Amino acid sequence: MLAVVDVIFLTLVAAALVAYAQYVFKKTIPKFKFSVKGVKKLATNRGFVIGALIYAVGLVFYLLALGSDQLSFVYPAFSSTFIFVILISHFKLKERISPVRLVGVAMILIGIALVSSLLVI
């Protein structure tokens, strides 16, 4: 069993990797049409393969965290993915972070802190 700090670290790394994989998908995958030809084209797309590998590594970190603590503790912490996506979108894609999104980020952080502190007590 890992310490709570280690579980949180693993979960945050998993969330960051999964969020970064989403960025890679967004930057490298052309418009996708669901068909046999579209799936073949997607499977050979370098960006898709790299994104899928990053996603898989994130999944491994998530599974390590999940195997070390309660689902009701790990999964809420994994919602930090939303925060990482907003940050990556802002800094890499130059997307604007609206005040409403900032409030949402604050609410996610508060929620993670509440769930984490309630389960640690």
Mean pLDDT by 10 residues, the chain (121 residues): 83 96 88 80 88 97 92 87 94 94 91 71 51
pLDDT for 61 equals 96
C-alpha to C-alpha distances, 115 to 61, 72, 78, 108, 111, nearest whole angstrom: 20, 8, 12, 11, 6
pLDDT of residue 98: 93
- pLDDT for position 117: 67
Give the burial string for 10-30 (b: 16+ CB within 10 Å, else e). Answer: bbbbbbbbbbbbbbbbeeeee
Q: How far apart are CA 93 and CA 22, in angstroms?
A: 12
